[in-house]
């Protein structure tokens, strides 16, 4: 399997705070890789760095062999990188259909994509996430779960090769959560995506991810299969504190 995304020693600091420190990992094509870490570990900063909202101080990011470290976000999108946001960021004044159409229209550098063609494509993605009946409703009138689905549809409409899913479980009840996980799995199958999944809810990643990377304070503390991570001492300590380990040891 070829390497889709390679991150080599990236660092980012804000003033005196080192948010991400010398992080390196690689994601191969077709994998689902999870990213976990306690609050403040630097997960969102890492995603922002990879997507282009922030520029790294040091290090390199490669997408399919191309160095994208200094590329602006829209160029990364054209090369196949898409993300969803932790707190959904829809286009509040656009209808659901038009939001996805924007994604379909701009996602790739196609010259002659007309509004109607993009509209037809967008309905396909809306149908995939189950929002077709809500296509003419303004994004600000949708429910929270529908907003998440809209985010997903819009990201999918840009025909990405690798999709960053940022804490999609947050705020969903168990029924919605299952639906979301199944949808992402189906999307991966149907569209041939690679998925980089940042998540807090461990149970989801245990099932869905093939590999998990754990970070804390901006540094990588573990990398491996879900079982390995679950048993990793440093990970447990990061989440639960060192006192826990002493109790368990008894």
The footprint of another protein (CB under 8 A) covers: 51-53, 72-74, 77-78, 82-83, 85, 89-95, 98-99, 101-103, 105-109, 113-115, 118, 138, 154-155, 158
Q: Which is nearer to another protein, 109 or 143 (CB)?
A: 109
Smallest distance, Å, CB 169 to another protein?
Answer: 21
Smallest distance, Å, CB 129 to another protein?
Answer: 16
Q: Which is nearer to another protein, 98 or 209 (CB)?
A: 98
For residue 115, count other CB atoms closer than 10 A to its CB: 10
Q: Which residue from 35, 30, 23 is spatially nearest to 165, judged by alpha carbons?
A: 35
Write out the two tokens for 71.
Answer: 């590329």
Phi, psi of 156 (to 5 degrees): -65, -35
Smallest distance, Å, CB 54 to another protein?
Answer: 11
Q: Which residue from 105, 83, 80, 50 is spatially nearest to 161, judged by alpha carbons?
A: 80
Residue 105: which residues within 8 A CB-CB, separation 6 or more?
113, 115, 118
Write out the two tokens for 130.
Answer: 């189950």
Q: Which is nearer to another protein, 10 or 100 (CB)?
A: 100
Smallest distance, Å, CB 27 to another protein?
Answer: 19
Residue pair 126/148 in contact (Cβ under 8 Å)? The answer is no
Residue whose structure tokens are 């630097």: 42
Q: Which is nearer to another protein, 74 or 244 (CB)?
A: 74
Q: Which is nearer to another protein, 51 or 180 (CB)?
A: 51
Q: Which is nearer to another protein, 113 or 124 (CB)?
A: 113
Write out the two tokens for 98.
Answer: 């038009």
Smallest distance, Å, CB 222 to another protein?
Answer: 29
Smallest distance, Å, CB 75 to another protein?
Answer: 8
Residue pair 124/103 in contact (Cβ under 8 Å)? The answer is no
Residue pair 90/139 in contact (Cβ under 8 Å)? The answer is yes
């Amino acid at each position: 399997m070829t390497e889709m995304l390679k991150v080599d020693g990236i660092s980012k600091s804000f003033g005196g705070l080192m948010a991400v420190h010398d992080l390196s990992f690689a994601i191969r094509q077709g994998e689902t890789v999870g990213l976990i870490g306690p609050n403040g570990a630097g997960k969102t900063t890492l995603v922002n760095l990879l997507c282009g909202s922030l520029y790294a101080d040091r290090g390199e990011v490669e997408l399919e062999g191309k160095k994208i470290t200094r590329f602006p976000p829209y160029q990364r999108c054209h090369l196949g990188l898409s993300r969803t946001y932790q707190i959904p960021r829809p286009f509040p004044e656009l209808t659901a259909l038009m939001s996805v159409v924007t994604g379909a229209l701009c996602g790739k550098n196609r010259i002659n994509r007309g509004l109607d063609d993009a509209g037809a494509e967008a309905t396909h993605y809306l149908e995939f996430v189950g929002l077709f009946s809500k296509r003419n409703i303004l994004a600000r009138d949708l429910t929270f779960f529908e907003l998440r689905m809209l985010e997903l549809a819009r990201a999918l409409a840009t025909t990405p090769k690798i999709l960053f899913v940022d804490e999609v479980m947050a705020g969903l009840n168990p029924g919605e959560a299952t639906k979301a996980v199944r949808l992402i799995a189906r999307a991966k199958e149907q569209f041939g995506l690679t998925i980089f999944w940042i998540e807090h809810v461990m149970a989801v990643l245990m099932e869905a991810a093939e590999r998990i990377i754990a970070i804390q304070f901006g540094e990588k503390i573990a990398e491996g299969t879900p079982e390995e991570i679950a048993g990793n001492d440093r990970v447990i300590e990061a989440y639960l504190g060192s006192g826990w380990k002493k109790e368990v040891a008894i």
